[in-house]
Amino acid sequence: MATTRVRGLPHFAVGTVVKGFGRGSKELGIPTANFPEHVVEELPDEITTGIYYGWAKVDDGPTFKMVMSIGWNPYYNNKKKSMETHIMHVFKEDFYGSELKVVMLGYIRPEKNFKSLEELITAIHNDISESDKQLLQAQHLHYKQHPFFTEKSGAQCNGVISNGVVTNVHGKENGLANGNIEQNS
């Protein structure tokens, strides 16, 4: 499976983990961390609905691979757009209320409907596998150490974090020096 290049990536986001629909762990066996509505609403237009991969960090913990669904989850007919992050790590307990930082680096596929729960679960496992493979590439691997993950929220990170959301970072290819963070206020 090849990923598609998307304008607006990499995209950095930070927010407090909120309760989602409660399906990830219970129904799918694939837990997700959900961003609050204001983070979803701040997504730039270039970030369309679909499945993305990148890196994620909870509070001051290590940085892990992640796969994220952005959209309305057609299988469940959601009424609100969501950003659901599956962190590729087994956590011992829930971390609602914790700070979640993510950098979205690539796009896997558009969101779509599925005929069965089993088909949905298979697609998610394929997305996880593709994310794992993509994040081993050098152009993505270095983002695991990006200063964004070590800065405290609201602090300087190659620019300004506004309203809890770094909306976009464009800079040198390594994403570290002279980044320009576009501010939403």
Residue 99 among the catalytic residues: no
Nearest to 32 by CA among 46, 51, 11: 51
CA distance linking residue 118 with residue 135, whole number of Å: 26
Contacts by 178-184, CB closer than 8 A, 24 or more apart: 181/12, 181/157, 182/44, 183/159, 184/42
What does the block give as tokens for 63? 């940085």
Of how many residues is the chain composed? 185
Q: Which residues sit opposite 71 in a β-bridge? A: 82
* Active-site choice (42, 84, 99, 130): 84
* CB atoms inside a 10 Å sphere around CB 167: 20
Give Cα 159 distance to the centre of its chain.
20
Q: Which residues are catalytic?
A: 84
